[in-house]
A and B are shown apart, each in its own frame.
Chain A
Amino acid sequence: MATTTLVARRPGGRLKWRNTLLGWSFILPNFIGFAVLTLVPVIALFYIAFTNWNAFGTARLVGLDNFTRLLADHSFRIALWNTVYYTAFHIPLTLGLSLALALLLNRKMRGVAFFRTAAFFPYVTSIVAIAVVWNMLFSPQFGPINQFLTSIGISHPPGWTTSSTWAMPAVIIVGTWREMGYYMLLFLAGLQTIPSELYEAARVDGASPWQRFLNVTVPCLRPTTFFVTVMLTIGSFKVFDLILVMTNGGPGQSTLVLSQYIYTKGFVENKLGYASAVSIVLFLICISITVVQFIVNKRRAD
């Protein structure tokens, strides 16, 4: 009896093993890259953050010194606040606009492929080119945007990237414009999966377009919306390249964000220990918000 079960189990077990190994071998090339270039540095980060490492020599353990310094660091607080500011506007704006674009371009109409491509284009354009062109558009004295604003009767148009009040809105506008095409694509994919019978049934019940949107589209898109929100949140918190090339954190510190602060401390001032401590804070923020989002999503699903 015992032997028969063993014999009976073995082939299945072997198959399971084979499948597992096969699976591993498929993800291995990617995983090696991830482990060497991302995982190991991330683990090292948690050690370096408690040292005073400056790239050379040995790293001396300094305990919680870096973190106590963080608490009193005014520039860190500015960077954190600016990051939250960017995120708070960038997420809803991008979410709303990309969904609107997706709905608009999900219909059968002439040239839809062209418009979809056009909306996606900013996402694949070089960030440096984007920054240079938008900076010119935003130019306070000679830029087309302010010339337009003056022509419609606004006598004191904003200084955009040269003003500490308007630099952040300018960056948010460009960030939203750049990324909405990508998220539009995700929403389009989500919209395709909604069965048309649901819309038909809703129409038969006499639902208006707005009611159909609220009661069919939104609930059916929930998995997509969740994914987009998580990706947007993480992306907004670690915004870096756009700010670096557009304003370099300025004027003053008005657009300094956490990733740039980490970069400056780590690679410009060579305070890698301190920069690692800031990275950990950024990491904790990202992961805790993502966990909250997962919990909320699960509750809604139930």
Chain B
Amino acid sequence: MKRLIVTGLGIAAAISLTVTGCGSSGGTAGSDTKSAGPVTVSLAAWSLATTPEFKTLADAFHQANPNITVKLKEYDAANYDTQMVADLAAHSAPDMYVQKTLKNFFTYQDGGQLMDVSDVAKKLGKGINGVKSYSVDGATFAIPYRQDSWYLYYNKDLFDAAKVAYPDGTWTWDDYAKNAGLLKAGLKAAGSPAQATYQHGWQSVVQGFANAQSPKADILKGDFGYMKPYYARAVAMQTAGDQPTYGTVTTNSLTYQAQFGKQKAAMMPMGSWYVATLIAQEATKDADTFKWGFAPIPQFDSSTTKTPVTFADPTGIGINPAIDKSKVAAAKAFLAFIGSEGASTKLTGIGITPAYASDAVTKSYFGFKGVPGDDLSRSAFATHDTKPENPVSKDTAAIQNILNDMHSSIMSGSKSVDAGVAEAEARVKSEVLNK
């Protein structure tokens, strides 16, 4: 019994030492945990073999803090959130876990499964983006390390063949549709089987832009009239044959990597993660080798072309509140690290768009072999206003599911744009807002 008390006191002392040590040294990533012995904190991640970012972060952090080891625990990418919810509920989840989609952030935060890390967030540098997406009532619950955004990828070889001018960074969606028409005619004249553009089957490809760019758009209000012009344009383009129809995309399980990488489409709106994938696939011959670039995504109107408005959710890491008290300081040090410029230049080394933006990061990103170095690609990377795709709310997941049904019924032609939108609005009212 006596021994138990002594050990208990010892542990308590160790904890208080660590905690006070952390408080006094002012919290830069490297210095604050030196007083403690070797610590291992675990981090949940997915598909480690094909997603090198977690190992990159863990290794770089360990190099700067030899006392702390970040151990990765692999989950299934497709069922990550389901498994994480189960593990958290069973108290067997790792010390830290990645917020794979912002859509589910609310579930974790509201369920009390994320530790308040506002102290870490306050000390992050000025260049950090995406922290706001993880804030609830003034407190922050996760720290972002990557912030993707959507670009317009284009195949310069196919543009040249069709004798159409490259995107110039001032396009609106109507310009995009007009140029798709020109490309279709030009490619046909040049004898190329490629299509003008490719719109993947995801709801984001239409709705993400409508939500980010339309004035007063807010999915939580349940009023989706602002999506109509975006859908009308998308449906018209597939009817005209500028892009494969939604039915072809879903029934033939088309992949966006093959459509653009194998030069079957001259343009494609897609997220910034595709840059690294395309470069990797060029090396493995899964993609053709051709001249390409990425332009700012087309805009709602010409008023925003200076700082183009686009969207994408940040990816962040949060701390499991069930973490052992002695490891909290180490976990917070890791979070401070992933939101720093130092970690960001490591991430750009594997082609990832980090959450921290600065000239050094941009320079390092375009130093990555294979990234197109033209001015338009540079400005698309460096200058944009990226809005989150998912607002943080208890209703987000349910509303997005209804909007996904709307997407498939409009794009497949089962419902007209007006009827599809009206049905979704009615469903949101009866199933989500008024229940």
Chain A interface (Cβ < 8 Å from any Cβ of B) = 54-57, 69, 72-75, 132, 135-136, 138-143, 159-165, 248-254, 264, 267-270
Are B405 and A249 in contact, CB atoms less than 8 angstroms apart? yes
Query: Which residues of the other chain, A, contact B217 by a CB distance below 8 angstroms?
Result: none
Are A268 and B112 in contact, CB atoms less than 8 angstroms apart? no
Are B252 and A162 in contact, CB atoms less than 8 angstroms apart? no
Other A-B contacts than A162-B251, A251-B414, A254-B414, 17 sampled, CB-CB below 8 A, are A55-B88, A56-B111, A57-B111, A138-B251, A139-B248, A141-B245, A159-B413, A160-B251, A161-B247, A162-B245, A162-B412, A250-B409, A251-B411, A252-B412, A252-B415, A252-B423, A269-B401
Q: A264 to B250, alpha carbons, bound, how many Å? A: 20
Query: Which residues of the other chain, A, contact B113 by a CB distance below 8 angstroms?
Result: 56
Q: Would you give the shortest CB distance from B103 to chain A, in whole angstroms?
A: 9
Q: Looking across the interface, which residue of chain A has its beta carbon closest to that of B248? A: A141
| Chain B residues bordering chain A, tally (CB within 8 A) | 35
Query: Which residues of the other chain, B, contact A160 by a CB distance below 8 angstroms?
Result: 251
Are A164 and B252 in contact, CB atoms less than 8 angstroms apart? no
Question: Shortest 5 CB-CB distances between A and B: which pairs?
Answer: A252-B409, A56-B111, A162-B247, A164-B414, A250-B408
Are A132 and B253 in contact, CB atoms less than 8 angstroms apart? yes
Q: Would you give the shortest CB distance from B393 to chain A, in whole angstroms?
A: 12
Q: A164 to B111, alpha carbons, bound, how many Å? A: 37
Are B408 and A251 in contact, CB atoms less than 8 angstroms apart? yes
Partner of A250, one of B111, B405, B413: B405
Are B252 and A54 in contact, CB atoms less than 8 angstroms apart? no
Q: A1 to B435, alpha carbons, bound, how many Å? A: 75
Q: A138 to B251, alpha carbons, bound, how many Å? A: 7
Q: Looking across the interface, which residue of chain B has its beta carbon closest to that of A141? A: B248
Supply 30 A–B pairs (Cβ within 8 Å), ascending by A: A54-B111, A55-B85, A55-B107, A56-B85, A56-B89, A56-B107, A72-B430, A73-B431, A74-B430, A75-B431, A135-B250, A138-B251, A140-B245, A140-B251, A141-B248, A159-B412, A160-B251, A162-B247, A162-B250, A162-B413, A164-B415, A250-B408, A251-B412, A252-B409, A252-B412, A252-B423, A253-B409, A267-B85, A268-B397, A270-B397
Q: Is chain A's binding surface mostly helix, strand, loop or mixed?
A: loop
Q: A249 to B405, alpha carbons, bound, how many Å? A: 8
Q: Would you give the shortest CB distance from B17 to chain A, in whole angstroms?
A: 32
Partner of B398, one of A161, A252, A269: A269
Query: Which residues of the other chain, B, contact A248 by a CB distance below 8 angstroms?
Result: 408
Query: Which residues of the other chain, B, contact A57 by a CB distance below 8 angstroms?
Result: 111-112
Query: Which residues of the other chain, B, contact A135 by a CB distance below 8 angstroms?
Result: 250-253
Query: Which residues of the other chain, A, contact B219 by a CB distance below 8 angstroms?
Result: none
Q: A270 to B105, alpha carbons, bound, how many Å? A: 12
Q: Looking across the interface, which residue of chain B has its beta carbon closest to that of A266? A: B82
Known contacts A74-B430, A136-B252; decide if A270 and B85 are in contact (CB<8 Å): yes
Q: Would you give the shortest CB distance from B109 to chain A, in whole angstroms?
A: 10
Query: Which residues of the other chain, B, contact A159 by a CB distance below 8 angstroms?
Result: 247, 412-413
Are B247 and A140 in contact, CB atoms less than 8 angstroms apart? yes
Q: Looking across the interface, which residue of chain A has its beta carbon closest to that of B424? A: A252
Q: A163 to B420, alpha carbons, bound, how many Å? A: 14
Q: A151 to B61, alpha carbons, bound, how many Å? A: 64
Q: A268 to B245, alpha carbons, bound, how many Å? A: 28
Q: A76 to B113, alpha carbons, bound, how many Å? A: 30
B154 in contact (CB, < 8 A): no
Are B111 and A142 in contact, CB atoms less than 8 angstroms apart? no
Q: Looking across the interface, which residue of chain B has its beta carbon closest to that of A131? A: B253
Instruction: Give residues of chain B (332-360) contacting chain A, Cβ–Cβ below 8 Å.
Output: none
Partner of A252, one of B112, B253, B414: B414
Q: A69 to B434, alpha carbons, bound, how many Å? A: 11
Are A141 and B247 in contact, CB atoms less than 8 angstroms apart? yes
Q: Which of A55, A74, A75, A251 has the most CB of B within 10 A?
A: A251
